[in-house]
Structure 1
Amino acid sequence: MGSLAGMPQPVDLSAPFGSFPAAIASIAAAKGENIALRDDGGDLSWRDLADRVERIAARLQDSGLEQGQAVAILGTSSIAYALAFLAAVRAGGVAAPLTTSASSAQLAAMLADSGARHIFIDRGKLAELGEAFGGECERIVLDEGLDDWMAPQGTSAQPFAPEPGDPFNIIYSSGTTGTPKGIVHSHAMRWRQFAPTAASYLGAGIAVRSLASTPLYSNTTMVGFLPVLLAGGTVRIMGKFDAARWLAHAEADRTTVAMLVPVQYGRLLAERSFDRADLSALRIKYCTSAPFSAELKAQVLRRMPGGLIEIYSMTEGGVVCLLPCHEFPDKLHTVGRPAPGSELKVLDEAENPVPPGTPGNLVGRSHTMMSGYRGRPEATAEAYWTDPATGETWQRMGDIGRVDVDGFVELVGRAKDMIISGGFNIYPSDLEAELEREDAVIEAAVVGIESDRWGETPVGFAVLEQGGDAQAVLDAVNARLGKTQRLSALHAIDAMPRSHIGKLLKTELREEAKRLQD
């Protein structure tokens, strides 16, 4: 362990590469008593953030953390959780936040996969999983005794100057079966991803106050966390999303930046107190991670102040498309155009490029590509497409889409969700759009199941208005569809199954469709 050194150098966000730990130290020296983090337990100043990150990092190093080794984090998002994440990176380790919604078996497998020898875990999650969870890892309980565990006040960690290719974090995919894959991001990838965003905030003179209401284990949340800190702003961390509390926090904090997933936007707009909340400080709102309907985008534009930007990409990287909805209200059915530095191709089944307007498999590349799946070279290779003409590596986006004459990308469906019935390709999004034209349908989803006659057949699920008749909806929709597209069944359900960040879990719908068919 060392002692605190002299004044850190100012951070240059325009540099092609920089150190997150050095940037945090520099900003903390300048910001002092300004608030860096907030949660329901209170506030943490920039000075205290820097001190605690150093002390946790020093203790990690002193207790055997090796450079490039993972530090697992599991629990409800909080200031303590954020400190563990930042300290893991500062110590030269790799932040490995684990998905709280995963099963105990999946969590054990993720922990083993990460190679972590330390796990920060909160008391609630430990009680749920049992005292034996973590095996031989050193266990640090986030909400009990973290202050006693970290190094003494004023201690600094041993220096760590990251190289561009050094791993920064491991984000685990949201797979619903088996062990989620560990997606490795490098220091260079994170810097290229978030330093320009931070610079844009500072250039626009935005007082950056973010409200992070999705879990810190999610790559989605990083958009409202890491660039805000790089800009010297304030992040309020919500442990669990609640629409009324979100509105209260946004009003009280004068929140200027927010990242929300579509289901959260829907819940906010439906909240009884929404129209009374003062959200006038909002400057920019983001959305990603799940399909964002044109209708909901339009509602957000009408009812919430500030700009609205949809981000289309993957945790693995690939193309990044941006749709500034407030600038292109006639393109709300798309996910925007490739951002500067991003490229996109649309390929047919033979992996040849298709003309504009033709749907095909999307592949993309950018300066924000993953390093690969941890310990899974075969899965990493399968995730890439190599251009036979140039040898360049592109990321398979897993989506089917088409590009219009203006360069805007419209998603048709997930590649794995495409239904091949009687030799014809059926895109679930086309059928879902037809279902949602019916007044009785609040939300719809379509999946394919095996069929002896057709190979696969489409089956629909719908959340209906009170008194809605599924058979009447099915008959009306099938009357409009071509013979090859018609739904074999439509099932009414109370709510769509979704992950913690709002992704529709079509795997669960397929299982339910099979059960109902049997």
Structure 2
Amino acid sequence: MTADEMLASDFATLPDLIRAHARDRGAKPAIVFGARMVDYAELDRAMDRIAFSLQQSDVQQGDAVAILGPTSLDYALVFLGALRAGCVAAPLAPSATPEQLAAMVADCAAPILFHDAAHDIDVPVRKVAIEQLEDWLHDGAPRQVTVGPDDPFNIIYSSGTTGTPKGIVQPHSMRWVHIGRAPAGFAEAVTMVATPLYSNTTLVSFLPTLGWGGTVVLLAKFEAREYLVQAEKHRGSVTMLVPVQYQRIMADPEFDRFDLSGFMLKTCTSAPFSAALKADVLARWPGLLVEYYGMTEGGGTTILVCNAHPDKLHTVGKPIDGQDIRLIDDDGREVAQGEIGEVVGRSGAMMTGYHGRTDATAAATWFDPAGNRFIRHGDIGRFDEDGFLTLLDRKKDLIISGGFNVYPSDLEAVLIEHPGVSDCAVVGIPSEQWGETPVGFYVGSGDPAEILAWCNARLGKTQRLADLRRVDELPRNAIGKVLKRELRALYP
């Protein structure tokens, strides 16, 4: 079958699609990384070599292949080559501690670990240095494998607030949905990738681009000016960025001199995206701006086409067609339209479960009265009269102060309006008087006492901040989410 025929079918695997693209458009650039480029024919051959070498190393179909290190071309090749062998890619976050990383390798039972020189962790499995990948490779044709929709594609680890790794098992069917929902024109896309390859945020644009036969431009790390330089150089047309990256790009004093007219689609996910920032991107950066809300675990996804709904920028949009998103109360009952509840979602793109964690899988699952399985998103939200979802906060971040529910996002929305504040976050701190009380942290030049008074004058009595601290920067993970547990630890 041709790639077009596969894409029109009920199911195809990414390795098979890449093989078809190699036949149909072999000389087309597939992945660009700095001065290196591989076309589809070269990518197909590299995947074969890696798959064959894994099989020669007694790595079996269905085994996990752990990958640890920063974004690189060889990292991407190992990930894709593991899939060609029928293995399960297990990308690990370099920001985790050595103990956490060892626990992840043990949890997924990977018989092999590919790592860069800076992350040579002590684990009792075969290790291959990514920088020496060529020395490990063998030439040969890999055994063909048959992969079904329910077979695991990858395991992504999310440590959560406790630091205990949870492996999110995503099947091939979930990735097929991601490929299938890519918009028309993705076959000619030049996708700028500036988030790490171990993040699902990255994979939901990286994998569909290759599935459709487009070109991926990988950046080793994100820096706003370098992103703009590379986007102009390669005539970038698609990108997935997180809000803090948009913020830094739009704040670059030279932004308006770069030619970004090639962009047809810019997307965002993973963290709160303020209405003001969306409006700035709409005004100054050509192309569609689309916000997606969803989870690595899957469940339901909402979409907001910002260009079409400039009056709804405070929301995360409406559920994608065919996806079921509902709101439930603490007793697991659906709430009425307009009321606040926890978000649960159901779709064709859902994790199989947390690897080896039936308890955690059960805790993340909700069943409706008809017995349909939903994923609990852990967010609190409300649907407006037009069906657009407004997120209020993470359920675990909700502050209950004196018996009143206080949503940190409401306080953050006021705090960021002060001209002396460029970034901020609000967390709940234990209080003998109130049980919990809100405390703010901000980045900026303003005086803490003056900003605190200004902010509290604009908040309701039960919302007022108990304290405000200035910090040099907010702690964030690699995809821009504020690590609120670290902020709580900073407060005496």
TM-score range, shorter chain: over 0.9
Equivalent residues of 2:64, 2:89 under 8 A apart? yes
C-alpha distance in structure 2 between counterparts of 1:192 and 1:240, whole Å: 28
Equivalent residues of 2:343, 2:379 under 8 A apart? yes
Equivalent residues of 1:449, 1:458 under 8 A apart? yes
C-alpha distance in structure 1 between counterparts of 2:346 and 2:115, whole Å: 35
C-alpha distance in structure 1 between counterparts of 2:431 and 2:223, whole Å: 42
Deviation at 1:442, TM superposition (A): 2.0
Q: Which residue of 2 aligns with 1:500?
A: 478
Q: Which residue of 1 aligns with 2:172?
A: 187
Quick one: which amino acid aligns to residue 218 of structure 1?
A: S
Deviations 1:301-328 (A, max 9, x none): 1111110111100000111000111111
Equivalent residues of 1:70, 1:116 under 8 A apart? yes
| 1:44 equivalenced with 2:32 (yes/no) | no
Deviation at 1:10, TM superposition (A): 5.7
Equivalent residues of 2:114, 2:129 under 8 A apart? yes
| 1:251 equivalenced with 2:232 (yes/no) | yes
Deviation at 1:482, TM superposition (A): 2.7
C-alpha distance in structure 2 between counterparts of 1:9 and 1:501, whole Å: 32
Q: Which residue of 2 aligns with 1:134?
A: 123
Deviation at 1:174, TM superposition (A): 4.7
Q: Which residue of 2 aligns with 1:87?
A: 81
TM-score w.r.t. the length of structure 1 is 0.92
Deviation at 1:124, TM superposition (A): 3.1
C-alpha distance in structure 2 between counterparts of 1:267 and 1:156, whole Å: 46
Within 5 Å, give how 1:463-474 maps onto structure 2.
463-464=443-444, 466=445, 468-474=446-452
Quick one: which amino acid aligns to residue 221 of structure 2?
A: K
Query: How has the CA–CA distance of structure 1 residues 115 and 350 changed in structure 2, closer, same or farther, with 3 Å as cutoff?
Result: same
Deviations 1:317-366 (A, max 9, x none): 11100011111111100001000121111122222222222221111111
- Could you tell which deviates more after superposition, 293-302 or 29-38? 29-38
| 1:122 equivalenced with 2:103 (yes/no) | no
Quick one: which amino acid aligns to residue 172 of structure 1?
A: Y
- Could you tell which deviates more after superposition, 324-333 or 438-447? 438-447
Moved over 6 A (4+): none
Within 5 Å, give how 1:251-400 maps onto structure 2.
251-387=232-368, 389-400=369-380
Match of 2:441 among 448, 461, 464: 461
Q: Which residue of 1 aligns with 2:60?
A: 66
Equivalent residues of 2:188, 2:213 under 8 A apart? no
Deviation at 1:471, TM superposition (A): 1.2
Deviation at 1:117, TM superposition (A): 0.6
Quick one: which amino acid aligns to residue 275 of structure 1?
A: D
| 1:512 equivalenced with 2:490 (yes/no) | yes
Deviation at 1:452, TM superposition (A): 1.2
Quick one: which amino acid aligns to residue 349 of structure 2?
A: T
Equivalent residues of 2:2, 2:24 under 8 A apart? no
Deviations 1:425-472 (A, max 9, x none): 1111111122223232222211111111111111111223x2x12112
C-alpha distance in structure 2 between counterparts of 1:116 and 1:253, whole Å: 37
User: What secondary structure does 2:382 align onto?
Assistant: strand
Deviation at 1:196, TM superposition (A): 3.0
| 1:160 equivalenced with 2:138 (yes/no) | no
C-alpha distance in structure 2 between counterparts of 1:22 and 1:486, whole Å: 56
C-alpha distance in structure 2 between counterparts of 1:258 and 1:171, whole Å: 21
Q: Which residue of 2 aligns with 1:479?
A: 457
Match of 2:403 among 420, 423, 447: 423
Equivalent residues of 1:8, 1:25 under 8 A apart? no
Deviations 1:88-134 (A, max 9, x none): 111011000000111111111111111101111122333xx4xxx23
User: What secondary structure does 1:161 align onto?
Assistant: coil
| 1:441 equivalenced with 2:435 (yes/no) | no
Equivalent residues of 1:384, 1:393 under 8 A apart? yes
Q: Which residue of 2 aligns with 1:409?
A: 389
Deviations 1:374-395 (A, max 9, x none): 00011000001122x2111111
User: What secondary structure does 1:463 align onto?
Assistant: strand
Quick one: which amino acid aligns to residue 83 of structure 1?
A: L
C-alpha distance in structure 1 between counterparts of 2:181 and 2:377, whole Å: 24
| 1:149 equivalenced with 2:130 (yes/no) | no
C-alpha distance in structure 2 between counterparts of 1:9 and 1:313, whole Å: 28
Q: Which residue of 2 aligns with 1:35?
A: 29
- Could you tell which deviates more after superposition, 14-23 or 316-325? 14-23
User: What secondary structure does 2:469 align onto?
Assistant: strand
Deviation at 1:172, TM superposition (A): 0.9
C-alpha distance in structure 2 between counterparts of 1:326 and 1:479, whole Å: 34
Deviations 1:242-278 (A, max 9, x none): 1121111111111111111111111111223322211
Q: Which residue of 2 aligns with 1:3?
A: none
C-alpha distance in structure 1 between counterparts of 2:223 and 2:5, whole Å: 36
Deviations 1:133-170 (A, max 9, x none): 232x22121122x2232221xx2211112111100000
User: What secondary structure does 1:12 align onto?
Assistant: helix
Query: How has the CA–CA distance of structure 1 residues 493 and 186 changed in structure 2, closer, same or farther, with 3 Å as cutoff?
Result: same
User: What secondary structure does 1:193 align onto?
Assistant: helix
Quick one: which amino acid aligns to residue 149 of structure 1?
A: W
C-alpha distance in structure 1 between counterparts of 2:129 and 2:416, whole Å: 47
C-alpha distance in structure 2 between counterparts of 1:80 and 1:11, whole Å: 29
User: What secondary structure does 2:181 align onto?
Assistant: helix
Equivalent residues of 2:191, 2:205 under 8 A apart? yes
Q: How many residues align?
A: 492
Unaligned runs of at least 5 residues, structure 2: none
CA root-mean-square deviation: 1.6
Quick one: which amino acid aligns to residue 386 of structure 1?
A: F
User: What secondary structure does 1:252 align onto?
Assistant: helix
Deviation at 1:41, TM superposition (A): 4.1
C-alpha distance in structure 2 between counterparts of 1:123 and 1:462, whole Å: 36
Q: Which residue of 2 aligns with 1:4?
A: none
C-alpha distance in structure 2 between counterparts of 1:244 and 1:178, whole Å: 33
Deviation at 1:402, TM superposition (A): 0.5
User: What secondary structure does 1:143 align onto?
Assistant: helix
| 1:200 equivalenced with 2:184 (yes/no) | yes
Equivalent residues of 1:314, 1:397 under 8 A apart? yes
User: What secondary structure does 2:490 align onto?
Assistant: helix
C-alpha distance in structure 1 between counterparts of 2:103 and 2:333, whole Å: 38
C-alpha distance in structure 2 between counterparts of 1:116 and 1:185, whole Å: 16
User: What secondary structure does 2:188 align onto?
Assistant: coil
| 1:76 equivalenced with 2:67 (yes/no) | no
